[in-house]
Every structure is written in structure tokens, then in C-alpha cells.
């Protein structure tokens, strides 16, 4: 690797789940406005446009991608020795000549990346000290965060991005497992609410109603119940722990593809393990008929062409909702707690 020092950003770096680099790159390629070069590592993808770097990065950086956990813009890429790793970084920062609100030292979610975590934690103190000495850390003056991304031992990419409330170190949310939730899937629903739904406190309110398709043992239902909703939990399997017999939960042993509520509900959530196109069709039917106003659901993606499969599902939803003359907004993401799947949010409510 040759060291590359540049003042202005020249590439987009996206973190993703290891193994999903092709999908992450395909999705970025769909949104680029010109040719460029893709490079991939374990858990990351970098896109360098051939020209108009500034304009292209300004377009790409604010976009919410499904398969990317977080995106940042790359200013410099430096090979590091084993002894003085700080001086080359400080030299690169002199070329950029920026001020920052904060600094994060990050690594990919790969085995090699994770082995760097104790180094990044300790080294962060030295970097922060150097930033203060050079007057580069000015939280009141700047909305740019400095990201030092270590793709592997001996290399760092110097990056920035405007601060967003939804950013997490390494693109990984640290969520606490509630001690009385019946399954770890509860963290998936919690992450979906935090990442996909804006102003969730207004959208999940006491007294609202929800249907949870494929609810057992009750991790998703737990998140709805703890926000005050009454939940129809549909599953032939048993609800467990605190969700078994809870007064806000009505457990219905039925087929999730057949069940319909007597009255429309505020929320439909669905975590059934099924072909994604069948789930997409089911969600579209509920929303098109007005049986639910908002939906959060998973699309399981065990197949090879996952990006294409997602596009097929979204096209089908679009056709069905357009036909029913329903306007809607959709967002989706492969959450940290998602494995071979993505989580989607559709609202038909004009907020």
C-alpha cells in the first residue's frame, strides 16, 4: 500500500457485516453518478470516483444504504510502522487542516478488526491529546467528526463525516439486553425502532394496538408491550417468560398468513422465517387494505442474489400500494442484530 495524503476527501468508505461486501458495493454502485473504483476488505467497501469527487461524495454521504452500517469520507490512507504511529497521522491531519467535534478510532467487524479493539481504545487517548495540542478539537465550532479507521494492522484511513445522532462507534449499536425479555431478538426490534423510525416516542404510544406475526417466544412483542401497546401475538409456538400470559398480550395460535384482526391496528410487525417475496406480499396486503398503518418486518436472505431479491420485494410492495392508491415511505437496513436478513419499516401515515 502506498501512502496517500489528500486535503479534500476522495473516496467513500462503508462499513458492513462481513460477507455482505458485494451487496454493499452493488448498492453504492446503484447510487453513483459516474464510474469509479471499488475496493473491498473484510467488513468494509471503499468507492473512489474517477472524477468530480467532491460532488459525488456530497451526494452519497447522506444516503441511507441498506447493506452499509455507516459511511464516512476518506481523506488519507497511510501505512503505519510498529513504533511511532502518531507522527504520520498528525502529518496527514496537517494536510487536511480541519477542526473536529470529536474523534473515533474504529475497525471493521471482522476477526482481524476485532483484534485491534484494545489498541484503538488505548491509542485514542494519544490521538485526542495531539488534536487538542494542535487546536483541531473544537466541539463548539465543528459538526465534523474525525474517524481513524484501521482496516488491518499497519494501516489507517483518515476520514470525516458530519455528526448524526444515529451514528455508533464501528457502526455497531451497544444495546443493553433487558433482563426480563424472552429472547435476544428483542434487541433486533429495539435497534429497528431506534434506527429506522424517527421520533419513535410519538409513533409508539400507550393504548395503541399491534399484531406480531411469528411472535414466539416474544422478544419483539416485549418491545411493543414495554411502550404501552396491546399486542396480538400470532404463533403456533409458545410465548415465554414475561410475555407468557401478560395482560397486554393476546396469544393467538394461528397461521400468520391467514390471521386478520377484527379492527385495524396501528402496527404490524413480522419476523416469520419465510420466502422474502411472500412476506413482502403479505405486508403489502395488510397496508393496502388498511388493516395496519405501519409495519416493521424482516426479509430473510439466505440466497445468493440478495440485493436483487430485495429489489424484487420492494417493487412488489410498490405495485400493490400504488394500485391501492396508498402513499407510503419505506426504509430498510441490515441492522447489527440482523444476520442473513434485513429489517424494513413502512409507514402509510403522513407524519
CB of 239 to ligand SAM, least distance (A): 9
158 vs 279, beta carbon nearer ligand SAM: 279
**How is residue 73 written as a grid cell?**
469520507
CB of 217 to ligand SAM, least distance (A): 5
CB of 210 to ligand SAM, least distance (A): 12
306 vs 337, beta carbon nearer ligand SAM: 337
278: closest CA among 262, 293, 245, 300? 300
338 binds ligand SAM (CB under 6 A): no
219 binds ligand SAM (CB under 6 A): yes
- 312: annotated active-site residue: no
CB of 181 to ligand SAM, least distance (A): 8
88 binds ligand SAM (CB under 6 A): no
183 binds ligand SAM (CB under 6 A): yes
Give me the catalytic one of 300, 312, 322, 323: 300
134 vs 236, beta carbon nearer ligand SAM: 236
CB of 189 to ligand SAM, least distance (A): 7
149 vs 220, beta carbon nearer ligand SAM: 220
Among 235, 309, 338, 341, the residue binding ligand SAM under the rule CB under 6 A is 235
User: CB of 76 within 8 A of CB of 95?
Assistant: yes
Half-sphere exposure in the Cβ direction for 331 (13 Å, CA)? 12
Per-position x/- string for 236-275, each x denoting binding to ligand SAM as judged by CB under 6 A, each - no binding: xx-----------------xxx-------------xxx--
Among 220, 286, 297, 328, the residue binding ligand SAM under the rule CB under 6 A is 220
57 vs 231, beta carbon nearer ligand SAM: 231
173 binds ligand SAM (CB under 6 A): no
Give the binding-site size for ligand SAM (rule: CB under 6 A).
20
Among 190, 216, 249, 332, the residue binding ligand SAM under the rule CB under 6 A is 216
The binding site for ligand SAM (CB under 6 A) comprises 183, 185-186, 214-220, 234-237, 255-257, 271-273
Residues annotated as part of the active site: 300
Amino acid at each position: 500500500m502506498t501512502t496517500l495524503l489528500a486535503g479534500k476527501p476522495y473516496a467513500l468508505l462503508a462499513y458492513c457485516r462481513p460477507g455482505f461486501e458485494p451487496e454493499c458495493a452493488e448498492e453504492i454502485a446503484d447510487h453513483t453518478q459516474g464510474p469509479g473504483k471499488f475496493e473491498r476488505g473484510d467488513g468494509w467497501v471503499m468507492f473512489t470516483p474517477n472524477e468530480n469527487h467532491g460532488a459525488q461524495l456530497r451526494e452519497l454521504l447522506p444516503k441511507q444504504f441498506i447493506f452499509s452500517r455507516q459511511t464516512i469520507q476518506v481523506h488519507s490512507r497511510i501505512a503505519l510502522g510498529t513504533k511511532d504511529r502518531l507522527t504520520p497521522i498528525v502529518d496527514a491531519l496537517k494536510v487536511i487542516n480541519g477542526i473536529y467535534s470529536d474523534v473515533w478510532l474504529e475497525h471493521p467487524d471482522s476477526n482481524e478488526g476485532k483484534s485491534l479493539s484494545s489498541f484503538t481504545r488505548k491509542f485514542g487517548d494519544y490521538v485526542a491529546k495531539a488534536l487538542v495540542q494542535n487546536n483541531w478539537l473544537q466541539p463548539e465550532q465543528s459538526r465534523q467528526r474525525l474517524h481513524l479507521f484501521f482496516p488491518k494492522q499497519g494501516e489507517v484511513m483518515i476520514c470525516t463525516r458530519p455528526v448524526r445522532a444515529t451514528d455508533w462507534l464501528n457502526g455497531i449499536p451497544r444495546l443493553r439486553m433487558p433482563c426480563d425479555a424472552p429472547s435476544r431478538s428483542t434487541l433486533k426490534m429495539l435497534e429497528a425502532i431506534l434506527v429506522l423510525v424517527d421520533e419513535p416516542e410519538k409513533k409508539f404510544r400507550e393504548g395503541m394496538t399491534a399484531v406480531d406475526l411469528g411472535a414466539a417466544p416474544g422478544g419483539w412483542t416485549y418491545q411493543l408491550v414495554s411502550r404501552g401497546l396491546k399486542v396480538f401475538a400470532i404463533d403456533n409456538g409458545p410465548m415465554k417468560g414475561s410475555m407468557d400470559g401478560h395482560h397486554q398480550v393476546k396469544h393467538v395460535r394461528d397461521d400468520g398468513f391467514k390471521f386478520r384482526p377484527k379492527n385495524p391496528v396501528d402496527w404490524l410487525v413480522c419476523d416469520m422465517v419465510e420466502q422474502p417475496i411472500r412476506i413482502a406480499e403479505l405486508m403489502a396486503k395488510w397496508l393496502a387494505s388498511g388493516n395496519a398503518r405501519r409495519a416493521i418486518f424482516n426479509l430473510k436472505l439466505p440466497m445468493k442474489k440478495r440485493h436483487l431479491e430485495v429489489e424484487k420485494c420492494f417493487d412488489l410492495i410498490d405495485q400493490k400500494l400504488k394500485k391501492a392508491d396508498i402513499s407510503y415511505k419505506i426504509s430498510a437496513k441490515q441492522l447489527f442484530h440482523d444476520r442473513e436478513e434485513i429489517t424494513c419499516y413502512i409507514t402509510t401515515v403522513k407524519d
